[in-house]
Chains A and B, each alone.
Chain A
C-alpha cells in the first residue's frame, strides 16, 4: 500500500514539475498581424516595409531577443543593403543586427540561423533555389511574463535588386524569439511567417529578368555559373502549349558570345544537343553540358552569354523566350 501511494505521489510530483517548468519556459506565441509592403519598385531603389506583430506571453522569463528573418534573392545582398529596426511600446525599440555566423539557434542541430531558417521555412514557393534567409536579432533583450501581450513592428529599409537584375519574387518574413527559436509545443507556436500577398516586382535595371515566381519554360542549374561549370538546362513542356507539345525528341539550338567578340553557333540535331526526358512522360527535357566543350572554345576564349532555342528533331519548330521566336538568354556570371 505504501509502495502504491509512493508511486502515485511520484507521478503527481513529476506532472506538477513538468507543468510548472512548461509554464516558466513558455514565452511568446509570436504572431504577425499584418504586412505593409509595396508590390513594385525600381531596381536599385530603397523601399520601406513594415511587419506588425503581437506577442502574447504565457510564462515568465528574461533575456529574450526578438528574431526577424526575411527571404530575398541572394543577388540582393540584403546583409549589406538593409537597415532593420523594431519598435514596441512595451519592448522598447532599437535597431536589429545580423546574427553572427557563430551564433547558433538552439534546436537547430548545429545549423546556423540562416540554414535553420531555410530548413524550417524553405523557399516560400519560389521556383529557383537562389534565395537566402537573412536573420536579425534585436539589440536589447527583454523580460516577458504576466500574461501580457506585446505589440510592435519591425521596419525594413531595403535596397531592392542590388544586382541590377529586374526580379519577380515572393518575399517572406518570419518573427520569432531567441529563447524558443522556431519551436512549437503544447503551449504554443513561437514563430509566425507571412509572405508577400502577390509577387513583388523590381522593374527597370540593366540585367536579365530573374523570375522566381512563375514557372519558366527553361530553367538553368546552377542559377549562377560560368562557362567552366557543368550547366543543366531543363525545358518544361507543360508550362504552356508550345509548338513542341507533341514532340518527344527535343534539341538545344544555341549561340555563344565570347569575350573576343566571336559568336559560335551550335544548332544541330544530334546526340550532342539532344535533351533527354528527365523521367518517362514527365515532358521535362534536360541537357547537361560543359559550355567550353559544347562550343569548342579556345583556351583563351571565355563565353559571356548564350542565346538559345529548343527545337524538334528537324530543327524547324523552335521555342524561344516566353514561347516566342526570340531566344532565351543566359548570361554567365557569379554575382
Chain B
C-alpha cells in the first residue's frame, strides 16, 4: 500500500514540459539607416569620405536614398529580402532598372542591429563594405 502511494506520488511529481518552438523574429529592416563603417578594398574610408549625410530608408518594400554616395543602386526603388526569417540576400530594384542582389549580414552589435553590405559600384575588382546602423 505504502509502495503504491510512493509510486503515485512519484508519478504525480513528473510533469511533461512543453517545449515551445522558439519563434524566430521576422527580420524587419524598416527605418532609416546610416553608414557607421566603410571600407574600399579593405582600406578604411573613415576620415576620407563624409558619410554623415547619407541615409537609406526602407519602408513597405521600397527604399529611398538620401545624399547619395556610391551604392549598389543609384536610384530609389523597391527592395526584397530572400527570406523574412533568415535573410542572407537583399535585392534592390531601382526604378526602371534590373534587380541587383547582394549578400548581407545582419548581426547585433552592442545591442543594435547592423546591416553589412558588400558590393562593387564601379570596377568589379573594387569591393566596398558598408556597415549600416539604424538612426535613432
Contact = CB atoms under 8 A, between A and B. Distances in A.
Contacts of B69: 290, 293
A232 B39 CA distance: 13
Contact of B70 (A221, A222, A229): A229
Nearest to B75: A299
Contact of A229 (B48, B74, B75, B126): B126
Interface string A228-256: 11101000000000000000000000000
B70 A290 contact: yes
A222 B70 CA distance: 14
A222 B45 contact: no
Interface in A25-52: none
A222 B128 CA distance: 12
Given A222-B41, A288-B45, A229 B124 contact: no
A230 B40 contact: yes
A299 B73 CA distance: 12
Place the interface of chain B in its size category.
10 to 19
Contacts of A230: 40, 45, 48-49, 70, 128
B45 A226 contact: no
Given A290-B69, A299-B74, A299-B75, A228 B45 contact: no
Contacts, number: 48
A227 interface: yes
Given A222-B41, A290-B70, A228 B48 contact: no
Interface in B2-20: none
Contacts of B74: 228, 299
Contact of B122 (A228, A286, A293, A299): A228
A297 to B, nearest CB: 11
Interface in B96-128: 121-126, 128
Nearest to B120: A229
Contacts of A226: 122-123
B125 A224 contact: yes
Contacts of A229: 40, 70, 121-123, 126
Does more than half of chain B's interface fall in helix, strand or loop, or is it mixed? loop
A286 B122 CA distance: 20
Interface string A133-162: 000000000000000000000000000000
B112 to A, nearest CB: 26
Given A222-B40, A228-B70, A230-B40, A334 B125 contact: yes
A225 interface: yes
Interface in A267-305: 286, 288, 290, 292-293, 299
A232 B48 contact: yes
A210 to B, nearest CB: 16
Interface string A193-233: 00000000000000000000000000001101111111010
A290 B50 CA distance: 11
Interface string B79-101: 00000000000000000000000
A286 B43 CA distance: 14
Interface in A281-335: 286, 288, 290, 292-293, 299, 334
A67 B49 CA distance: 43
A231 B24 CA distance: 42
A208 to B, nearest CB: 16
Nearest to B38: A230
From B45, B68, B75, B125, name the one whose CB has the most chain A CB atoms within 10 angstroms. Answer: B125
Interface string A154-197: 00000000000000000000000000000000000000000000
8 A-B pairs closest in CB distance? A229-B122, A226-B122, A334-B123, A288-B48, A228-B122, A228-B121, A222-B126, A229-B126
18 contacts: A222-B125, A224-B126, A225-B122, A225-B126, A226-B123, A227-B122, A228-B74, A228-B122, A229-B40, A229-B70, A229-B121, A229-B122, A230-B70, A232-B48, A288-B48, A292-B70, A334-B122, A334-B125
